[in-house]
Chain A
């Protein structure tokens, strides 16, 4: 069969390229000695390597706890390096200003009682957490509302008056504001808070140790400008010069 094919190919070559027909069928390349004898075993070895299963235990081992401690080790190294850089920076600075400082041991000379730091946190008296109740805060808001409301009420009373009512103003001046406020109910004060902005109340709320401002002082602190503005906003009221009354 092979011979038949060869003859067929020779005939074909004679027709196409007669010079090729004379070359012959031998390949001139050489192979290493015993190449083919060894080839099967070489191939089999490579196939074995590809299919090899890595055993669960291998000869190399990391120290016990290595990975658990690795993060700490790296972190400590970073901190140490940063500290060394800072120290180097300081040494260079001191060298230019006062070199003697670089020759002094920085170890603290003062003595401390034995075990001081070990016991310090245990001896620290943590203050009890104060629970500031909403009700308590609302009481402060109530006082704030009361003071402002009193100021507006009394000022309105002043502004409502005519000459005859000026006499009544004197009467109002004598009024004990605190007592008058006691007669204003919590509900009315709460209602006032909800419907009116309290300027400055936040400051009072934040500082619960601060004393309640005097209502009388608040009235005195109302400026003429504020009163004028109040009149503009309430046109039915007649303007009255209260500069003497409010001294």
Chain B
């Protein structure tokens, strides 16, 4: 069984077991955070960069983590912020405008070696990339991670009502896209 967050934080707070505690936290959350990031940035190399940056931030900030929120909420928030920063930087580096982001990401999806336009699952990925960034985040957290709105509210620092509306709109748009294509 995976150790509890409380145990991991206790390991980390002790200087003699800090690295052991941190490694255990990484192992416990790496896959969840990786996929959360990868669904936004698409390419593995980019997801790897963002994931590493996320855990570096975790290492630096964990000492001051006040445990007034759940550990996984805090980790998701860092990963989300790092992802958004990365996408912002990518837009600037690639000189891609907001309108060009969707086709830019679409090309990345299509360039995946396993891409198959006939499969509904791949068309779903294309549909998701059509959404604005924040809406994409909301959709992914709800649809793939099945997070309750309360948890999402803490991660994205947005009201539950706004998140429900956002998910509703996102789902409708995706449905329309899938019916069209």
Please give the residue numbers on chain A whose beta carbons come within 8 Å of chain B beta carbons, in ascending order.
Answer: 71-72, 75-76, 83, 86-87, 89-90, 93-94, 97-98, 100-101, 103-113, 116-117, 120-121, 124-127
Pick from B22, B121, B143, B171: contact of A105, CB below 8 A.
Answer: B121
Which residues of B have CB within 8 Å of A87? 146
Which residues of A have CB within 8 Å of B34? 112, 117
Cα-based distance from A94 to B170 in the complex (angstroms): 11
Cα-based distance from A100 to B56 in the complex (angstroms): 39
Cα-based distance from A106 to B19 in the complex (angstroms): 34
Nearest to B1 among chain A residues (CB) is A72
Dominant secondary structure at the A interface: helix
B122 touching A109, Cβ below 8 Å: yes
- B17-73, CB < 8 A from A: 19, 22-23, 26-27, 30-31, 34-35, 38-39, 42, 44, 48, 51-52, 55-56, 59-60
Pick from A76, A101, A112: contact of B171, CB below 8 A.
Answer: A101
How far in angstroms is the closest Cβ of chain A from B107?
15
Which residues of A have CB within 8 Å of B52? 124-125
- B96-150, CB < 8 A from A: 112-115, 119-122, 124-125, 142-144, 146-148
Which residues of A have CB within 8 Å of B148? 86, 89
Give me 12 other A-B pairs in contact (C-beta within 8 A), A71-B1, A109-B121 excluded.
A86-B146, A86-B147, A89-B146, A89-B148, A90-B142, A97-B172, A97-B175, A100-B179, A105-B121, A110-B38, A113-B44, A116-B44
For chain B, which range describes its interface: under 10, 10 to 19, 20 to 34, or 35 or more residues? 35 or more
Nearest to B176 among chain A residues (CB) is A98
B30 touching A120, Cβ below 8 Å: yes
The reply to whether the CB of B168 lies closer than 8 angstroms to some CB of chain A is yes
Nearest to B112 among chain A residues (CB) is A110
Which residues of B have CB within 8 Å of A112? 34, 44
The reply to whether the CB of B9 lies closer than 8 angstroms to some CB of chain A is no
Cα-based distance from A98 to B31 in the complex (angstroms): 28
Cα-based distance from A111 to B114 in the complex (angstroms): 8
User: Given A87-B146, A101-B174: A127 and B35 within 8 A (CB)?
Assistant: no
B178 touching A124, Cβ below 8 Å: no
Please give the residue numbers on chain B whose beta carbons come within 8 Å of chain A beta carbons, in ascending order.
Answer: 1, 19, 22-23, 26-27, 30-31, 34-35, 38-39, 42, 44, 48, 51-52, 55-56, 59-60, 112-115, 119-122, 124-125, 142-144, 146-148, 167-168, 171-172, 174-175, 178-179
Closest 8 CB pairs of A and B: A98-B175, A72-B1, A98-B171, A97-B171, A121-B26, A86-B146, A90-B146, A121-B23
A117 touching B175, Cβ below 8 Å: no
User: Given A71-B1, A109-B125, A126-B19: A121 and B27 within 8 A (CB)?
Assistant: yes
Residue contacts A-B, CB under 8 angstroms, 30 given: A89-B146, A89-B148, A90-B143, A90-B146, A94-B171, A97-B168, A97-B172, A97-B175, A98-B171, A100-B179, A101-B174, A103-B120, A104-B124, A106-B143, A107-B121, A109-B115, A109-B119, A109-B122, A110-B42, A111-B44, A111-B114, A120-B26, A121-B26, A121-B27, A124-B26, A124-B52, A125-B52, A126-B56, A127-B59, A127-B60
Which residues of B have CB within 8 Å of A110? 38, 42, 44, 112, 114
Pick from B1, B51, B174: contact of A98, CB below 8 A.
Answer: B174
Cα-based distance from A83 to B55 in the complex (angstroms): 25
Which residues of B have CB within 8 Å of A125? 52, 56
Which residues of A have CB within 8 Å of B42? 110
Cα-based distance from A75 to B175 in the complex (angstroms): 37
Cα-based distance from A125 to B19 in the complex (angstroms): 12
Which residues of A have CB within 8 Å of B44? 110-113, 116
